[in-house]
Amino acid sequence: MAQARAETLAQAFSPAFFIGTRSGSLYYADDVGHTTEVQALGARIDHMLFFEAKSRLVLLTRALVLVQLQIGSDGKVIPVMKMKVAVAGGAAERGIKHICWAGPGVIAAATGEVL
């Protein structure tokens, strides 16, 4: 009983978060030290954005793969979409330098392309 209460308190004071690695693994973790690998993408994760309106985590890898994951209230991760992004020039080797939300559900990217 006391162990369950301690776990409940730990979860209340230790909000969960995601960690992306250079090897392409995505982990769900908390401040108490619990970690779980939830996705293996096979390429370095360069960018992560959270789309709060739909509870979705958007990832962009060094291999220019854009991934969208549905995040449940319990931290359960469900793949929704995975696509290859086409960028001219050497962006595939360098990666995309910066991404941000340009509007609800719209991502802007600084690719370094010569126009």
Give the type of residue at 100.
Answer: C
Whether 48 contacts 20, CB under 8 Å: yes
| Region of residue 60 (phi > 0: left; psi between -120 and 50: alpha; otherwise: beta) | beta
**What tokens were used for 4?**
């369950």
Residue in this structure with the two tokens 């220019």, named with its chain if needed: 64
Tens digits of per-residue pLDDT, 82-91? 999 988 776 6
Statement: residue 26 has pLDDT above 80: yes
Statement: residue 36 has pLDDT above 70: yes
Statement: residue 38 has pLDDT above 70: yes
Tens digits of per-residue pLDDT, 69-109? 999 988 789 999 999 998 877 666 677 888 999 999 899 98
pTM: 0.79
Statement: residue 11 has pLDDT above 70: no
Whether 96 contacts 106, CB under 8 Å: no
Q: How far apart are CA 55 and CA 60, in angstroms?
A: 17
The mean pLDDT of the chain is 85
**What tokens were used for 3?**
């162990």
